[in-house]
C-alpha cells in the first residue's frame, strides 16, 4: 500500500471512530513504553500499595505493549469525555453513570467490526478498556493524544483531562501500511502547580509522581482494609474517588465539556442533588440486596458494600452533624469489624467536636467501644 493509501486508511479509521462517538483518536505502533523506567521505579518505591496486579506478571506485560495480545502490531487509541463541568460531589464524576468498561468495550468492538468490513477480511484485534496489562496513558501520549500533567493525568489541549481511554490492539498484515501519529512531545503545564497544591492528602511526591497509598481514589476504591487515621480527615466528604486535582487544572477550567443529553455517563438518580451526608447515610442503611440493586451496571461495584460503608463512616466523621449520629451508631451491629472501627472513630470525633464547642453530650452521643479495642 502506498503512503497515500496508508494515510487514507488512517483517515477512514479516524472518521469512523468519530462517527461512533469517540472524542479523540490516534494511531501508534506497539513496543516498550517510554515510561517503563519510571513505572518500575514507582513500583519499587511501594507507591502501588495493595494493587498487586500491577506487579509480577502484570508488570512484565506492561513493559512492552506487544505482549498483552499476541500478534498485535498497532493500537488505535481512543478517548471519550465523561464531563468535567458537573458539580463536585461525594462521588467522582467518572463513576456516577453506567460502567464505562462495558460501554466503551462494545463501542471499541464496533470499530473492530467496521475495520474488518472495510478491509474485507478477518482482523486479529482486541479492545482494552482500563482492564488489561497496558500503560494506557503512555500509549495515548505515543499516539499524540496529550501529555502527562503534573497530576499524572493525560491532558489534551482541546478537551482537558476528563476523559476515558480505550484502545483497539490490531495486527496489521505486511501488505497493509497504516500511518501512525507523532507522539505528543510538548509539556504544557509550565510552572503551574495547582494540582499538586490542591491535593487534600498531599499524595504527590513531586510533579508526575503519585503515592497512590495516600490518594483518596486509592483509599476509597482499592484499599481493602482500614484507612490510615491521619488521612481520614483530609478525605472530607469523598465517598468514592476524587476529582480535585482535575478540577483545579486550568486546562479543565477552560476546555472540559458538559455531558450531552442522554449520555450513559450522566449521574444516576441516587447521586442527583444529594450531598455527602445524605448519600453516606443511605449507604450505611443498605443491605447487600439494596447495594446490588442501586449499583447494578455501575463502576462503583469495584468497591464492595462494606468498603463504601467504611468510607461513609469517614465522611460522617468529617462533615456529619448531630442528625447523623444514629446512622453511625447503627453500624455497631455491622458484620465487618473495619466498618465498626471507622464508625467508632467517627463517633468519637463527633463527640470531641461537640465537647470543644461546648455543646452538651447526651448518653446516645457516647460511642460504643469497638470490639477490637
**Cα atoms in the Cβ-side hemisphere of radius 13 Å centred on 327:** 25
Cell of 223: 484499599
- Alpha carbon distances (Å) from 243 to 27, 42, 97, 282, 319: 28, 22, 15, 22, 18
Are 338 and 225 a contacting pair, CB within 8 Å?
yes
Whole-angstrom distance, CA of residue 206 vs CA of residue 179: 36
Residue that has been written with the C-alpha cell 503545564 in this structure: 189
- Scored b (16 or more CB within 10 A) or e, 337-352 reads ebbbbbbbbbbebbbe
Whole-angstrom distance, CA of residue 90 vs CA of residue 274: 9
Length of the chain counted residue by residue: 373
Are 143 and 77 a contacting pair, CB within 8 Å?
yes
User: For residue 364, how many other CB atoms are within 10 A of its CB?
Assistant: 9
* SS3 at position 77: strand
Q: Which of 130, 173, 181, 365 is catalytic?
A: 130
**Interacting residues of 49 by C-beta distance below 8 A, sequence separation 6+:** 212, 213, 218, 222, 223
**Interacting residues of 121 by C-beta distance below 8 A, sequence separation 6+:** none
Q: What is the dihedral of CA 36, 40, 41, 45, to 10 degrees?
A: 150
Q: Which of 240, 233, 246, 61 is nearest to 151 (CA)?
A: 246
Q: Is there a catalytic annotation at residue 130?
A: yes
List the catalytic residues. 130
Amino acid at each position: 500500500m502506498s503512503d497515500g493509501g496508508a494515510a487514507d486508511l488512517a483517515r477512514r479509521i479516524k472518521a469512523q471512530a468519530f462517527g461512533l462517538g469517540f472524542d479523540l483518536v490516534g494511531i501508534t505502533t506497539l513496543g516498550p513504553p517510554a515510561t517503563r523506567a519510571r513505572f518500575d521505579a514507582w513500583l519499587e518505591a511501594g507507591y502501588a500499595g495493595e494493587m498487586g496486579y500491577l506487579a509480577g506478571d502484570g508488570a512484565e506485560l506492561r513493559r512492552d505493549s506487544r505482549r498483552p495480545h499476541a500478534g498485535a502490531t498497532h493500537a488505535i487509541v481512543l478517548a471519550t469525555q465523561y464531563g468535567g463541568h458537573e458539580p463536585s460531589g461525594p462521588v467522582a464524576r467518572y463513576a456516577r453513570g453506567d460502567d464505562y468498561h462495558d460501554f466503551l468495550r462494545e463501542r471499541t468492538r464496533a470499530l473492530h467490526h467496521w475495520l474488518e468490513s472495510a478491509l474485507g477480511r478477518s482482523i486479529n484485534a482486541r479492545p482494552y478498556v482500563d482492564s488489561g496489562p497496558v500503560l494506557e496513558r503512555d500509549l495515548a501520549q505515543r499516539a499524540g493524544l496529550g501529555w502527562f500533567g503534573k497530576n499524572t493525568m493525560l491532558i489534551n489541549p482541546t478537551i482537558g483531562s476528563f476523559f476515558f481511554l480505550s484502545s483497539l490492539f490490531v495486527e496489521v498484515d505486511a501488505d497493509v501500511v497504516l500511518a501512525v501519529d507523532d507522539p505528543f512531545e510538548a509539556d504544557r503545564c509550565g510552572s503551574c502547580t495547582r494540582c499538586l497544591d490542591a491535593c487534600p492528602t498531599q499524595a504527590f511526591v513531586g510533579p508526575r509522581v503519585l503515592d497512590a497509598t495516600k490518594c483518596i481514589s486509592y483509599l476509597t476504591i482499592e484499599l481493602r482494609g482500614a484507612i490510615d487515621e491521619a488521612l481520614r480527615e483530609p478525605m472530607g466528604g469523598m465517598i468514592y474517588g476524587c476529582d480535585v486535582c482535575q478540577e483545579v487544572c486550568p486546562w479543565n477550567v477552560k476546555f472540559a465539556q458538559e455531558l450531552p443529553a442522554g449520555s450513559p455517563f450522566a449521574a444516576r438518580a441516587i447521586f442527583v442533588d444529594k450531598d455527602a451526608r445524605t448519600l453516606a447515610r443511605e449507604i450505611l442503611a443498605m443491605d447487600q440486596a439494596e447495594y446490588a440493586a442501586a449499583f447494578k451496571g455501575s463502576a462503583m461495584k469495584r468497591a464492595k458494600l462494606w468498603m463504601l460503608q467504611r468510607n461513609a463512616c469517614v465522611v460522617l466523621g468529617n462533615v456529619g452533624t448531630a442528625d447523623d449520629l444514629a446512622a453511625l451508631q447503627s453500624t455497631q451491629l455491622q458484620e465487618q469489624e473495619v466498618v465498626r472501627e471507622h464508625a467508632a472513630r467517627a463517633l468519637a470525633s463527633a463527640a470531641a467536636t461537640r465537647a470543644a464547642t461546648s455543646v452538651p453530650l447526651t448518653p446516645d452521643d457516647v460511642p460504643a467501644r469497638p470490639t477490637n479495642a
